[in-house]
Amino acid sequence: MEMIVVALQLALAAVLGVAAVGKFLDPNGSRHAMEEFGVPQRLVTPVAAVLPVAELALAILLLPGATARWAALGTAILMLTFAGAIAWNLRKGRQPDCHCFGKIHSAPAGPSTLIRNSGFAVMAGLIAWHESPGPVDWFSGLDELARIVVVFGTAIVALLVAQVWFSWQIWIQNRLSLQAMALDNDALSVIDAPPTATQAPFRARSAPPFDLATTDGRRLTLRKLLSRRRPVLLLFVDPACGPCRQLIPDIHEWHRRFADEMEVVLISRGEPDVNLEKFGALTVALQEDREIYDLYDIEGTPTGVLVSKDGLIRQPYAAGRAEIRELVMRAMEGTSKQGKRAGAVPDDNDPDDPDLFRLAQAPARGTAGTRIPLPDIDGTYVGLDDLRGARTVLLFFNPSCVFCQRMLPDLRQWESDAGAAASRLLVVSTGSPEDNRALGLRSRIVLDDGFTIGREYGATGTPSAIVLDVDGKVASDIASGPDDVIDMLYEEIEMEAGIPC
């Protein structure tokens, strides 16, 4: 048992040491993590400064036998505090960036983070419960040969751990090529699963009234908003919510494009200066605690609620960036349709199956396209109304789709052959900007992780493509699968050259 406890002390000291060093290397990230976890603003800087010092001190004190038990108790308290903060945020529907290992590794806190920190607390509890000489005293008691064996053994284990870690990072960085070799449904389609039959139908109801102060000192009521006779998009946010901040560029763009057609209001909580720092000049109404969340039955942030100009909530709540974008799209179309939820890709994943994309069905020709803007890989927003004046091909793409990857050489060749016509291709893709830059395409790429635009045009998988005319209206059937997409692109070149198709 003594050897097991010594091993636990070494492991826990290593974890704390790495965590401390990672936070020392990224102090700004540590402060940001404290904010996301809900630490009061006045305490953010001191807590972020003290935490890595405490972790490093505990790591050192775990090594000598004289201080190990007290250090283990301190570590257990620290880990249980982390676990409690994670559980509290998860209950609120938030997943802040844990920043557990600072610059070395950071990810959104979730159930796995909660389990990991609870496990560390159990390890610390075992150390505190079972007295041991500690790694330092234990090592001092060994003869010379045993010390050499321990040193070399520890070095080998450390090298193996480092190799595993670097291999894992390399795998993450190259996940596109690995995913491109996997023939599974996730790689073939980015369509959300359709609602299940057990989901209760949405019932329209009156929007609960509210009267709140804004961050700029005004009073804002729902009645005042509705007096302007336009739809109101209520966005329920929180200054500690990471996904809420990711939505800010979209909100600014909606204000710019749709200011005369839709009101957009953020409902948050906390201190005005904190919300001003997070959300800038956006209209933010502040509740005292979460009374408006409860009034509207909001379970997490960000959540969008669309109130019609007659004060009714006629559509289901939208949770997350993709669903909120789709809600805005429906508001701008002036329709209550629930979006085109496409069927799943057939179970047969044979790449040569001619029926693999048979579910695709475009809107009728002459149908106007959506007006929702999307960011390109450089962060500049592009709306389909910006493309009017020339025929445009929309290519629905997914970097992790095996068919898209196989089509890439032909697509690059088409860009070379198309010349000026290549500027009329707009790639509507998913994934990160880095993943899409790695594709090596010259055409403009916009990001639509929720596949909102693809569903709007009837695409059921990737790659798919459709042509819009000079007025931005549907001018073709939808092309599905690599061969049909490439054929469509070359037909556009021939049409521009005046060659009959």
Instruction: Quickly list DSSP for 43-72.
Output: HHHHHHHHHHHHHHHHHHHTSSHHHHHHHH
Residue numbers of the domain that contains 114: 2-141
Please state the rounded mean pLDDT for residues 437-451.
89
- The verdict on residue 49 lying in a domain is yes
Please state the rounded mean pLDDT for residues 258-262.
86
Q: What is the CATH number for 456?
A: 3.40.30.10
At residue 499, does pLDDT exceed 90?
no
- The verdict on residue 212 lying in a domain is yes
Tell me: do 392 and 286 sit in the same domain.
Answer: no
> Which stretch of 21-30, 142-151, 244-253, 313-322 has the lowest confidence by average pLDDT?
142-151
Domain count, the chain: 3
Tell me: do 311 and 384 sit in the same domain.
Answer: no
Residue 265: count other Cβ atoms within 10 Å of its Cβ. 20
| pLDDT for residue 353 | 45
> Which stretch of 29-38, 46-55, 146-155, 275-284 has the lowest confidence by average pLDDT?
146-155
Interval 325-348: pLDDT, tens: 888 888 887 543 433 333 333 333
- The verdict on residue 41 lying in a domain is yes
| pLDDT for residue 113 | 82
In 31-174, where do the E strands start and end?
none
Please state the rounded mean pLDDT for residues 345-364.
47
CA 424 to chain CA centroid, Å, is 29
Interval 303-316: pLDDT, tens: 999 999 888 998 88
| pLDDT for residue 464 | 92
Tell me: do 328 and 379 sit in the same domain.
Answer: no
Please state the rounded mean pLDDT for residues 30-42.
75
> Which stretch of 39-43, 164-168, 481-485 has the lowest confidence by average pLDDT?
164-168
| pLDDT for residue 97 | 65
- The verdict on residue 254 lying in a domain is yes
At residue 41, does pLDDT exceed 50?
yes
Query: Among the three residues 95, 115, 141, which one is the final residue of a domain in this structure?
Result: 141
Please state the rounded mean pLDDT for residues 160-184.
49
Tell me: do 395 and 475 sit in the same domain.
Answer: yes
Nearest one of 73, 62, 72, 76 to 136, comparing CA atoms: 62
- The verdict on residue 387 lying in a domain is yes
Percent of the chain exceeding pLDDT 70 equals 76
Tell me: do 329 and 381 sit in the same domain.
Answer: no
At residue 277, does pLDDT exceed 60?
yes
At residue 171, does pLDDT exceed 80?
no
Tell me: do 413 and 326 sit in the same domain.
Answer: no
Task: List helix spans (H) across 443-481.
Answer: 452-456
104 against 47, higher pLDDT: 47
158 against 378, higher pLDDT: 378
H or E element, residue 250: helix 248-258
| pLDDT for residue 359 | 47
Range with the largest mean pLDDT of 79-83, 332-336, 347-351: 79-83
Tell me: do 123 and 211 sit in the same domain.
Answer: no
At residue 155, does pLDDT exceed 50?
yes
Please state the rounded mean pLDDT for residues 136-147.
67
Which residue(s) pair with 381 in the sheet?
A: 375
- The verdict on residue 423 lying in a domain is yes
Please state the rounded mean pLDDT for residues 9-36.
80
Query: Among the three residues 105, 123, 141, which one is the final residue of a domain in this structure?
Result: 141
Range with the largest mean pLDDT of 185-199, 256-270, 359-373, 446-460: 256-270
Residue 412 sits at the vertex; the CA angle it makes with 454 and 171, to the nearest 5 degrees, is: 75
3-state secondary structure of 402: helix
| pLDDT for residue 77 | 92
Please state the rounded mean pLDDT for residues 74-94.
84
Please state the rounded mean pLDDT for residues 441-458.
86
Are 37 and 95 within 8 A, CB to CB?
A: no
Tell me: do 308 and 379 sit in the same domain.
Answer: no
Tell me: do 385 and 329 sit in the same domain.
Answer: no
Residue 132's Cβ-side half-sphere holds a number of Cα atoms within 13 Å equal to 28
- The verdict on residue 164 lying in a domain is no
pTM exceeding 0.75: no
- The verdict on residue 217 lying in a domain is yes
Q: What is the mean pLDDT of the chain?
A: 78
Tell me: do 324 and 379 sit in the same domain.
Answer: no
Maximum C-alpha span of the chain: 90
Please state the rounded mean pLDDT for residues 81-100.
77
Tell me: do 390 and 473 sit in the same domain.
Answer: yes
Please state the rounded mean pLDDT for residues 96-118.
74
| pLDDT for residue 93 | 62
Q: Check residue 387 and report its DSSP letter.
A: G
> Which stretch of 126-135, 256-265, 416-425, 458-467 has the lowest confidence by average pLDDT?
126-135
Please state the rounded mean pLDDT for residues 132-156.
68
Tell me: do 386 and 319 sit in the same domain.
Answer: no
Query: Among the three residues 141, 159, 179, which one is the final residue of a domain in this structure?
Result: 141
Please state the rounded mean pLDDT for residues 390-417.
90
Distance CA 167, CA 272 (A): 45
